[in-house]
Amino acid sequence: EVQLVQSGAEVKKPGESLKISCQGSGYTFTRHWIGWVRQMPGKGLEWMGIIYPADSNTRYSPSFLAQVTISVDKSIGTAYLQWSSLKASDTAMYYCAKSRGPGPYSFDYWGQGTLVSVSS
């Protein structure tokens, strides 16, 4: 069974750093892109970026370039999303998802989401 399991909810203060994770199982982790999607409270989905675990090839949406870092540890089948200095506006639900095929064009399995709350 394909599963993407994300790390738990986080409560942080502005300026703090954070790294959340997404562990894939039940499929060949290195052959499918992993994407990250943001959903701010009461808002729609926003495409953040993707990474190809086999070679760590990473693409970012312009809105998120230099704001977050996407990485992967293929030895443990886990992708990461990290911030070096959080802002209140980073408060959102973050989803990871795997690509349906070898290309990054659609996501067929999604994690349960990680809620990040940033407040002083």
- Report the interface residues with another protein, using CB under 8 A: 35, 37, 44-47, 50, 59, 61-62, 95, 97, 100, 104-108, 110-113
By residue count, the chain amounts to 120
Smallest gap, in angstroms, from Cβ of residue 1 to another protein? Answer: 13
28 vs 113: CA distance, rounded Å = 21
- Nearer of residues 26 and 105 to another protein, judged by Cβ: 105
Smallest gap, in angstroms, from Cβ of residue 17 to another protein? Answer: 25
Report whether 110 contacts 118 (CB < 8 A): no
Single-letter amino acid, residue 2:
V
Smallest gap, in angstroms, from Cβ of residue 92 to another protein? Answer: 14
- Nearer of residues 86 and 93 to another protein, judged by Cβ: 93
- Nearer of residues 54 and 115 to another protein, judged by Cβ: 115
- Nearer of residues 36 and 80 to another protein, judged by Cβ: 36
In a 3-state reduction of DSSP, which class is residue 24? Answer: strand
Q: Which long-range contacts (CB under 8 A, 24 or more apart) does 50-58 make?
A: 50/99, 50/104, 51/79, 52/104, 53/29, 53/77, 53/79, 54/30
Smallest gap, in angstroms, from Cβ of residue 88 to another protein? Answer: 21
